[in-house]
Structure 1
Amino acid sequence: MSDNITELNIIPRKQRSKRLLALDAARGLAVVGMFVQHFALNQINSFVSGNTMILFILCSGISYSIMSQSMKEHGIEPTTFRSRVLARSVFIDFIGYLILMLNGPFGMVLSAYAMLFILSLALVHYSARTLIILSGVLFLVSPPLMLIGLSLFADTALLGDIAGGPLSALAWAPVFIAGMAIGKMDLYKFKTAIKFVVTGLTILIPFKLIAIFLLPGLRQKFENWLVQFPAYENPPMVDQYAIWPLNTQPIQWQMLFLDSPQSGAAFELLIGLGGTLILLGLLLLIENKLKVVLRPFAAAGRVALTLYVAQFVLVWGTTLIGVDITSIDIGAIPFGDIMVVLFTLLIGWLLAKLPNGPLESAIRRFEGLFYKK
């Protein structure tokens, strides 16, 4: 391939004002993967478990930077951006607590997602290079800190959302900030897409090999060492009515050596990040040649929040009428997972026919109450 070709932009300049189809498609793939994970998981598609949320959080970080830069380029004051982010965070957090009230069977991350939006306000002016360094540091420090938070803040609402375990903002921060760094790059260049694929392979392959061949042994040795301490060999009965922090559980340090879905461990996040970077790079390349392939997933991506919430409402509604849909092993049915994918894409396509998805429209109206358009 010649140097001239590698310098070509993926998307013509005259189209750059439009939504990035590959980003919408990536978000759509994430929410479709969530439906498969929750309703039709099997041995063949088990790779979606946990990785869909990593993809969703990465796309959110990318969109966060793009929104910030777009408003800056259009001369919109920084206070307006902050107002939009704060309003959006309050709305998403409220939706998250409503979902928690339904007491569904799935982990819910909207509250952590809202906290990420607020906490990242301090980072929007940093360069991509600085954000990459910060993300790398957080891949090291976030896992132990979120485990401390899981012990100290497990039963608190706001602090738990910020730093209380694997589904907290702190746990997802390395991926979100990596997304923010990506959002500051030129996503329309051929070289950028290739770099994502190469970087993803560079991250994915070594950490996956370590997770397969070395991590189980390291975990066993660490657990054997850990049980030497009385608090872990014979865990004391915790009095939930004692004053804080006497009512907290011992810190689960062994979780640092997991690579299981939604564990918040560094290995899980790095393996997932490597895979999502490869996927994002491929989607950017596909957008230039085969847009038609991406459009069904991009439609779902434009209404991703509505679809995300819909799965909780679906389980709640069917349970009310006496049908436990999660007990139906759809994944064991021949092509059951494909049917779930097609169903999700169909609903996403129908919702995308509206000017905006129901929740997406509600967020915009709510945001509009707090700044002058």
Structure 2
Amino acid sequence: MMARSPSPAAGGHSTLRLSGNRLTGVDAARGLALLGMMATHLMPTFESDANLTPTWVGLAFSGRASALFAVLAGVGLALSTGRQVPLAGPALGLARRGIALRALVIAVVGLTLGGLEVNVAIILVHYAALFLCVLPFLGLPVRHLLAWAGGWILLAPLVAYLLRPWFLAGDPPLHLGHNPSWEDLGTPGPLLGDLFLTGYYPVFQWLAFVLVGLAIGRIPLHRARVAALLLVAGTAVAIAAKALGNALMEDWGGRQALEAVLDEPRWPLESLLQVNLTGIEQTGSWWWLATAAPHSGTTLDLLHSASAAAAVLGGCLLLGSLGTWLNLDLLLPLRGAGAMTLSLYTVHVWVLAAFYVDGRPDGWTDEGMYTAQAITAVALGILFAVLKWRGPLEQVAHGAHVLGSRPLTPVR
């Protein structure tokens, strides 16, 4: 459906393309996040040389694609709970219950996938936990959300740095070392410790991404000037955060201080700081809090990744606006896949697990595997979008949300 032309009564602001009641730019950004995560799963993030030189995939997508997912989760929650004016009272309570049931569906899928033999970190259980953790914030206005997000970005990394060694020193350590699965429900301590602090996607710090997304979703995203502000401001802050992190590491002695305490000689710290700090025990020096490395969970990492996500969303919204002006659906290849990421991500992980056990077909390269899966995801997304179908798992999650959002009928 094409957005109506702006009227003088609407203040003269240009509007962005909608699909039904969805902002297509949000779905398109989610499609980019899916393709980016698939790239980090299928293609190397380091070269195979002695220095482990980062590849373009590692530099472009590591940490950013998954963070984009989390920010867009917050945006989606804002759009489904009142947009600029958050729900309140009984309506908010019903919405929270529906979101909780949707999170349960996502967690079930994630725990099931966690039982597969696959060499990737599956985000779904952490994603479901983020949905639950953000429930108390759904009724807040944008200025309060921005304050919470800013405070979380500043303080959560410090608290995590202080708590993580204590979690890892437990007997057993509160850390899984693998994807959460159904079996881990029998050991809730390590499971919760891994989900919130010691795992690949620590919910305690990553809640900042969802709070940023929730605040973004409370502003008028249908206005082109707002989208442009997201693009420009997000890009500027992302560049500034990364530049400051690099200066702290390379110019002010941070990397040398960390190399002195790092007990991991196989991995050059210079490369890790550019691509991924997961698996490195960030203890022994306060300098760990000064990095902007992907998956470090520091203030600069959270600020950079959240700002980059805002910029990507702004760019997608503007591209949708351009498509409206040209009367073309420029976002269809991305928004189709982005509207069914739960289904496509699940199939992607199943395929990876099949190849992990049986090996890939002869002659298939990393690039070939990625191209095949990316084209398939885009093609399926376009088909479902044209037919106006939900993805199968999206349908289940939607049904759970609707069921949870219904008022309870009093017993007579």
TM-score by length of 1: 0.81
Alpha-carbon shift at residue 369 of structure 1 (Å): 4.4
Alpha-carbon shift at residue 159 of structure 1 (Å): 3.8
Q: What is residue 236 of structure 1 aligned with on the other side?
A: none
- Structure 2: how far apart are the matches of 1:216 and 1:328? 39
- Structure 2: how far apart are the matches of 1:108 and 1:145? 25
- Do the aligned partners of residues 72 and 133 (structure 1) sit closer, same or farther apart at CA in structure 2, a change above 3 Å counting? closer
Q: What is residue 27 of structure 2 aligned with on the other side?
A: 24
Per-residue deviation, residues 137-172 of structure 1 (Å, max 9, x unmatched): 111222233344543132411343233345121121
The answer to whether the aligner puts 1:172 opposite 2:175 as a matched pair is no
Alpha-carbon shift at residue 351 of structure 1 (Å): 4.5
- Structure 1: how far apart are the matches of 2:335 and 2:77? 18
- Structure 2: how far apart are the matches of 1:267 and 1:250? 15
- Structure 2: how far apart are the matches of 1:368 and 1:278? 32
Q: Higher helix proportion, which one?
A: 1
Which secondary structure state, in structure 1, belongs to the residue aligned with residue 221 of structure 2? coil
Match of 2:93 among 53, 65, 79: 79
Q: What is residue 113 of structure 1 aligned with on the other side?
A: 127
Alpha-carbon shift at residue 272 of structure 1 (Å): 2.1
Report which stretch shifted further, 25-34 or 87-96.
87-96
The answer to whether the aligner puts 1:330 opposite 2:366 as a matched pair is yes
- Structure 2: how far apart are the matches of 1:122 and 1:60? 15
Match of 1:277 among 310, 317, 327: 310
| Equivalences for residues 52-201 of structure 1 within 5 A | 52-69=65-82, 77-151=91-165, 152=167, 153-155=174-176, 156-201=190-235
- Structure 2: how far apart are the matches of 1:176 and 1:20? 18
Alpha-carbon shift at residue 191 of structure 1 (Å): 2.0
Match of 1:359 among 384, 387, 393: 393
Alpha-carbon shift at residue 124 of structure 1 (Å): 1.1
Alpha-carbon shift at residue 24 of structure 1 (Å): 0.6
- Do the aligned partners of residues 340 and 313 (structure 1) sit closer, same or farther apart at CA in structure 2, a change above 3 Å counting? closer
**Is the contact between residue 64 and residue 305 of structure 2 (CA under 8 Å) also seen in structure 1?**
yes
The answer to whether the aligner puts 1:302 opposite 2:354 as a matched pair is no
| Equivalences for residues 162-311 of structure 1 within 5 A | 162-217=196-251, 218-223=253-258, 251=283, 255-290=288-323, 291-311=328-348
- Do the aligned partners of residues 174 and 324 (structure 1) sit closer, same or farther apart at CA in structure 2, a change above 3 Å counting? same
Alpha-carbon shift at residue 305 of structure 1 (Å): 1.0
**Is the contact between residue 229 and residue 314 of structure 2 (CA under 8 Å) also seen in structure 1?**
yes
Tell me the percent identity: 22
Per-residue deviation, residues 241-297 of structure 1 (Å, max 9, x unmatched): xxxxxxxx8846554344333222232222222222222112111112225221110
Per-residue deviation, residues 22-57 of structure 1 (Å, max 9, x unmatched): 001000111011112211346334301221111111
- Structure 2: how far apart are the matches of 1:74 and 1:213? 45
- Do the aligned partners of residues 78 and 273 (structure 1) sit closer, same or farther apart at CA in structure 2, a change above 3 Å counting? closer
Q: What is residue 243 of structure 1 aligned with on the other side?
A: none
- Structure 1: how far apart are the matches of 2:62 and 2:152? 22
- Structure 2: how far apart are the matches of 1:226 and 1:330? 35
- Structure 1: how far apart are the matches of 2:374 and 2:61? 12
Where does structure 2 lack aligned partners over 5 or more consecutive residues?
1-7, 46-54, 168-173, 177-189, 265-280, 408-412
Per-residue deviation, residues 164-197 of structure 1 (Å, max 9, x unmatched): 3451211211111000000100001122112112
- Structure 1: how far apart are the matches of 2:288 and 2:349? 27
- Report the residue type matching 1:294 in the other structure: L
The answer to whether the aligner puts 1:50 opposite 2:63 as a matched pair is yes
- Do the aligned partners of residues 339 and 311 (structure 1) sit closer, same or farther apart at CA in structure 2, a change above 3 Å counting? closer
Where does structure 1 lack aligned partners over 5 or more consecutive residues?
234-248
The aligned length equals 344
**Is the contact between residue 16 and residue 318 of structure 2 (CA under 8 Å) also seen in structure 1?**
no
Which secondary structure state, in structure 1, belongs to the residue aligned with residue 120 of structure 2? coil
Which secondary structure state, in structure 2, belongs to the residue aligned with residue 77 of structure 1? helix
- Structure 2: how far apart are the matches of 1:328 and 1:135? 44
Which secondary structure state, in structure 2, belongs to the residue aligned with residue 160 of structure 1? helix
- Structure 2: how far apart are the matches of 1:251 and 1:258? 13
- Do the aligned partners of residues 16 and 298 (structure 1) sit closer, same or farther apart at CA in structure 2, a change above 3 Å counting? closer
**Is the contact between residue 142 and residue 171 of structure 1 (CA under 8 Å) also seen in structure 2?**
yes
**RMSD across aligned C-alpha pairs, in angstroms?**
3.2
- Structure 1: how far apart are the matches of 2:344 and 2:222? 28
- Structure 1: how far apart are the matches of 2:282 and 2:219? 42
Match of 1:312 among 321, 325, 349: 349
Which secondary structure state, in structure 2, belongs to the residue aligned with residue 346 of structure 1? helix
- Structure 2: how far apart are the matches of 1:150 and 1:206? 28
